[in-house]
Amino acid sequence: MSRIANCFNDLKEKNRKGLIPFIVAGDPQPGFTLPLMNALVDGGADLIELGVPFSDPMADGPVIQRGSERALVHDTSLRDVISMVVEFRKENKQTPVILMGYLNPVEVMGYEEFAKAASEAGVDGALIVDLPPEEAGELKEIMVKYDIDLIFLISPTTNVERQKYISKIASGFLYYVSLKGVTGSNRLDTGSVEESVTTIKQHSDLPVGVGFGIRDAESAANVAKVCDAVVIGSPIVELVGNLSDDSETSMKSITTYLSTMRQAIDVI
């Protein structure tokens, strides 16, 4: 069984909700990423979403855009990100890692080469934001071959017919985008999230993670009530952007922040 499936089974058995923090690899400097990933695990991360920086992050709000820009100052490439996972896996064998990014860096590297390198590094899933299922046929086949889950988005504008179509091609979990907007937006409407997740669950057995627009412990708890896992991105990237160094104290502050999210979703 894949690390992602294992993780969600485990959560289910323990009757817990998953916590998925997001950081941009290489932000604010490449050396920060490994200690940050460990800090997130210490803070209660069940899975880690590692952003692959891109020059034109069309689906991201200003906070994650700036994270991407900080990482690109140091030319953090897709290959670099994969190497960071190699380092992470030397110590951590169980926390699933999902690469999240845009298609062009993957196209330039080549689908097969990307999948092979990512799989060898211990990457468990990939979420390519600008790759809808209609365009994903070739990459999907290759990802299956290398045992990497290709994760797809479902959004408030996705009708039921498309939800079914997406559920069929997706694996690992389904990522529900909680609002019409970009990452970091503040238009979260928990009621409509609940309604959509309920519909999605009617025709898919995959776990549903919800992301975009979760800003604090309260919104995390509210969303966690109606799904299997919450993704927290912009608030963490904001904190990371303000770190002055990668000292133990700095990393502790990230761990502490995530712990409050952990507690919030554990008490629901």
Partner 1 sequence: MLNNSLPNESLPDENGHFGPYGGRFVAETLMGPLQELTEAYTRYLKDPEFLAELDDELHHYVGRPSPLYHARRWSEIMGGAQIYLKREDLNHTGAHKINNTVGQALLAKRMGKTRIIAETGAGQHGVATATVAARLGLECVVYMGSEDIKRQSTNVFRMKLLGATVVPVESGSKTLKDALNEAMRDWVTNIDDTFYIIGTVAGPHPYPVMVRDFQTVIGREAKQQCLQQAGRLPDALIACVGGGSNAIGLFYPFIEDEDVAIYGVEAGGDGLETGHHAAPLNAGRPGVLHGNRTYLMEDDNGQIIETHSISAGLDYPGVGPEHSWLKDSGRAKYVAINDDEALQAFHDLTKIEGIMPALESSHALAYATKLAPKMKKDEIIIVNLSGRGDKDIQTVATLEGITL
Catalytic positions: 49, 60
Give the nearest distance from C-beta 171 to partner 1 in angstroms. 16
Q: Name the one range near partner 1 by CB under 8 A: 25-33, 59-67, 141-149, 236-244.
A: 59-67
50 lines the binding site for partner 1 (CB under 8 A): no
Give the nearest distance from C-beta 64 to partner 1 in angstroms. 11
Residues 97-136 close enough to bind partner 1 by CB under 8 A: 102-109, 129-132, 134-135
Contact 203, 239 (CB under 8 A): no
Q: How far apart are CA 258 and CA 142, in angstroms?
A: 34
Contact 145, 115 (CB under 8 A): yes
Give the nearest distance from C-beta 110 to partner 1 in angstroms. 11
In the sheet that 97-101 helps form, which strands lie side by side, from edge to edge? Answer: 149-150, 125-128, 97-101, 48-51, 18-24, 229-232, 208-211, 174-177, 152-154
- Whose Cβ is closer to partner 1: residue 58's or residue 144's? 58
Candidate residues 83, 92, 155, 199; the one interacting with partner 1 per rule CB under 8 A = 155
158 lines the binding site for partner 1 (CB under 8 A): yes
Enumerate the β-bridge partners of residue 23: 50
Q: Name the one range near partner 1 by CB under 8 A: 38-46, 89-97, 159-167, 200-208.
A: 159-167
Angle value at C-alpha 125, between 124 and 130, nearest 5 degrees: 160
Residues 175-194 close enough to bind partner 1 by CB under 8 A: 177, 180-182, 185, 187
32 lines the binding site for partner 1 (CB under 8 A): no
Angle value at C-alpha 21, between 201 and 76, nearest 5 degrees: 120
| Token representation of residue 108 | 């330039």
Angle value at C-alpha 65, between 64 and 71, nearest 5 degrees: 90
58 lines the binding site for partner 1 (CB under 8 A): yes
231 lines the binding site for partner 1 (CB under 8 A): no
Three-state SS at 128: strand
Rg (CA), the chain: 17
Give the nearest distance from C-beta 93 to partner 1 in angstroms. 29
The residues of the shown chain that bind partner 1, judged by CB under 8 A, are 54-59, 61-62, 65, 69, 72, 75, 77-79, 102-109, 129-132, 134-135, 152-159, 162, 166, 177, 180-182, 185, 187
